[in-house]
Each structure stands twice: as C-alpha cells, then as structure tokens.
Amino acid sequence: MNLSQVKLVVTDMDGTLLNTQHEVSSLFYHLFEKLKQHNIIFVAASGRPYYGMVDKLSSIKNHMIIVAENGGLAIQGNSVFLSNPIKPKNLLRIITIINTIDNTHPVFCTRHKAYVMSKSKPLLNLLQEYYKNYELIDTPEIIEDEVYKVALFHEESSEKYVYPSVKVLEKDFKVKLSATHC
C-alpha cells in the first residue's frame, strides 16, 4: 500500500478501533508503528472521556491525538489544543431541562472524572466501562471542573423518554442519541 499521500488517520473507538470486548487489538499497534514510520498523524476520536481513552491507548497516548467528549476536548501528548466546555449559564439551562424529565440520570463529564447523581444499577454498570473515574454527587452545583458533555441515561429508552424534552437544545448544542439508553 502506498502511504505517501496519507497525512492523517482518524478513527472512532467503539465499534471501530475497539473490539466487542472493548479492547484494542494487538494487530493495531503494528499498524500504528507503520503510520509513525510514514509520519502519519493518528487520531482517536470518541464520545468517551479523555481518561477512558487514555486508559485504552496508554502505550501510545503521547504519540497521537485524542479527541474526547464528542469533540469537546482534544489533546496531543500533554498539550491541550482544543477545549470547548459548556459555559456555566448554558449548563444551568441544560440542568433546568433535565430536572423536568422523569427517570433521567445525568452524567456530567469533565476532563478528569464524571459526576453522577444516581445510584441506578444499570447506569453504574455502564459507568464501569465508559466512565470508570466517577463521583456520586447530590447536586451539580458542587462541580468545579469544566463540563464538556452531559450524557443522559434512561433505563428504558432515551429516544422515547429523554430526546423529546431535550431536542429544543439542538439549535445551540449537538444533541445525539447514543445507543438505547443514552
């Protein structure tokens, strides 16, 4: 394969770079070395949090770009080159809407951890894979870190029970369904 014209390779994590066990194939690391030999920049992009992506790609994290939180945070090595947190006034607006939706469990995503206000067993199980570094809180007002994303979890169906209430935010924010529950 002629890689002389390739400058950048970008991939999603879930369903692309990660296998069904949420692991990176050992074969990938051989391909990654070939990319480096050809000075091709590698980017892993995901809705996952930065720390979760680093956990999966720790051996190469300093030789690539990580785009986390659906594009809210981009880091190369130790340098943050894109940081687009939710402004506090907008976060308050989002929280106000969330508080009107029954049985919805928000996950407030920051660079170093997630903040969760629920002890929902299905949500806590999900957190083990996607947001291992999380803290249970009583109110979002205690969050001092910048919030990059608010994930909303519903035990039955986010599309049916959550999306109709948050679609009003689409003119100002990216509102996306992610699987059945988020």
Alpha helices (runs of H) in the chain, residue ranges in sequence order: 26-37, 50-56, 88-98, 121-130, 158-161, 163-166
Mean pLDDT of 108-114: 95
Q: Give the per-residue pLDDT at 121.
A: 86
Q: Which two tokens stand for residue 85?
A: 């947190």
pTM: predicted TM-score of the whole model, two decimal places: 0.89
Q: Compute the average pLDDT of residues 141-167.
A: 93
Q: Which long-range contacts (CB under 8 A, 24 or more apart) does 178-182 make?
A: 178/47, 178/151, 181/122, 181/126, 181/153, 181/154, 181/155, 181/156, 181/157, 182/126, 182/151, 182/152, 182/153, 182/154, 182/158
The average pLDDT across 111-126 equals 89
Condensed to tens digits (0 to 9), the pLDDT of residues 33-69 reads 999 999 999 999 999 999 999 999 999 999 999 999 9
59-74 pLDDT tens trace: 999 999 999 999 999 9
List the beta bridge partners of residue 152: 106
Classify strands 104-110 and 147-154 as parallel, antiparallel or unpaired.
antiparallel
What is the pLDDT at residue 177? 85
Name all domains of the chain by residue range, CATH numbers in brackets: 8-83 (3.40.50.1000), 88-169 (3.30.1240.10)
- Asked if the model's pLDDT at residue 162 lies above 90, the reply is yes
The overall average pLDDT reported for the chain is 92
